[in-house]
Amino acid sequence: MKMQRTYIKDIDEKKDGKEVLLKGWVQDIRDLSSVKFLLLRDYSGVVQAVAKPKTKVFDIVPKISIESIVEIKGKVKKNKEARKGYEIIIDDLKVLNEAETLPITVLEKGINIGLSKRLDYRFLDMRKEKVRAVFRIQSEIINAFREFFTKNDFIEIQAPGIISTATEGGTDLFPVKYFEKNAYLAQSPQLYKQMAAISLERVFSTMPVWRAEKHNTVRHLNESRQMDIEVAFADEMEIMKWMEKVIQFIVKKVIENCKDELKALNINLKVPKALYITYEEAVKKLKGMKYGDDFENEHEKKLCEMYPDTIIFIHEWPRSLKPFYIMPKDDKVTRGFDALYEGMEISSGGQRVHIPKILEEQLKKQGLNPKDFEYYISAFKYGAPKHSGWGLGLERLTMCLCGLDNIREACMFPRDRDRLVP
């Protein structure tokens, strides 16, 4: 009978002394005169395999190229000094697919290669422990987000990726040819999640969004992923609470389920507290800022340094700084907010305008033509409750939890001003 494959994570006490079949990548080879070591990696871990003298594999092992795909049959043996406390004494080895000389190393020390070169070879770069840790944590973040809102009776909606009008300002749209019409890649699910919430009450979405922002910064991508919610009958204070709760839930899940990954990244993650302050209060805390100024990244950093391990919710933003769909609170301020965490903005949102007349006025004020938004405005004419929501950047949150200083590290295949491949 064909032998079943064993995964490296399952090598334990019960397997001690037994013959196993392993498959994976050759991470490294150590060629000593008396013995040859091969580090084998699969999705679940790394184990040391040993070729002893006078065996048929002794001369073969040192010749195998790094990252080749191999199949190893061997005996599990306790060895306190080996990683995991066990090693494999190789009986037989087959090279399933030989790797050519690598353009970048996949060993941890190779992390110092420039980011741009690493991204050129991302398919190899993600074989490194630290890089894999980031994407494992990102997967936990998005799963926890879904779990939290599903448990709270929200439904996940799928908004379109091709749209006919700007939702987040007209200048940073990517045009696409849509048969005879002009269309754009969606900058956010904004208008669609609102139209869903006024019928379904509690919705969330996770989708890529596209922004043709020309600036190349360590916090911006031209394609990013947004986690959004929209809740009917809620105001901005209520939905900020949802964000406080979901981020705390996500961080707890990452602490619980990604212990090895956090260790690999050398991160001591803490469940954050929350602070709620008005825009006016925030401006007063910062030197060199005056009422009406938008926050620069240096201001966000300073505020976060004042309140470590805290999500800072800044609400009551001036009307001039928020989009047309944010509900005004009075003549001066809106019901919009921004959330800062670990030195940067991770989210913005607020209560929406659900009164068609106010919506038309706000569109005109921002230089937009209400005619282009007729489909959206009319949705609020047939029984629309007040509603609120926010969008949370997946890559930005990944940066915060993994301690990364460039957003490209938090995106498997980033799209920026200069990069369209791989």
Instruction: Tell me which residues touch ligand AMO (CB under 6 A).
Output: 168, 188, 190, 211, 213, 220-221, 224, 226, 228, 345-349, 389-391, 393, 395-396, 407
Q: Which CB, 43 or 375, lies closer to ligand AMO? A: 375
The rounded Cα 204 to chain-centroid distance in angstroms is: 16
Cβ 241 to ligand AMO, closest distance in Å? 15
Report which of 269, 261, 219 is spatially closest to residue 395, judged by C-alpha positions: 219
Cβ 75 to ligand AMO, closest distance in Å? 50
Cβ 309 to ligand AMO, closest distance in Å? 19
Sign of the Cα pseudo-torsion (190, 195, 196, 202, in order) = positive
Cβ 213 to ligand AMO, closest distance in Å? 5
Cβ 347 to ligand AMO, closest distance in Å? 5
Q: Which CB, 48 or 334, lies closer to ligand AMO? A: 334
- Round to whole Å and give the CA distance between 257 and 240: 26
Quote the DSSP letter at residue 9: G
Cβ 278 to ligand AMO, closest distance in Å? 18
Looking at 178-317, list the stretches that DSSP marks H as alpha helix, in order from N- to C-terminal side.
Answer: 190-200, 236-257, 259-265, 279-285, 297-306
List, in order, residues 6 or more apart from 203 with CB less than 8 Å away: 154, 155, 156, 157, 193, 196, 197, 229, 230, 231
- Round to whole Å and give the CA distance between 201 and 294: 32
Q: Which CB, 127 or 387, lies closer to ligand AMO? A: 387
* Burial label, 19 (beta-carbon count in 10 A; 0-12, 13-18, 19+): middle
Q: Which CB, 74 or 391, lies closer to ligand AMO? A: 391
Q: Which CB, 26 or 134, lies closer to ligand AMO? A: 134
* Token pair in block for residue 161: 């990726």
Cβ 239 to ligand AMO, closest distance in Å? 9
Q: Which CB, 147 or 345, lies closer to ligand AMO? A: 345
Cβ 219 to ligand AMO, closest distance in Å? 6
List, in order, residues 6 or more apart from 54 with CB less than 8 Å away: none
Q: Which CB, 86 or 154, lies closer to ligand AMO? A: 154
Sign of the Cα pseudo-torsion (315, 318, 319, 324, in order) = negative
Q: Which CB, 41 or 396, lies closer to ligand AMO? A: 396
> Which residue's CB atom is positioned nearest to ligand AMO?
393
Whether 46 and 69 have beta carbons less than 8 Å apart is answered as no
Whether 291 and 285 have beta carbons less than 8 Å apart is answered as no
User: At 89, which helix (H) or strand (E)?
Assistant: strand 86-97
Whether 137 and 261 have beta carbons less than 8 Å apart is answered as yes
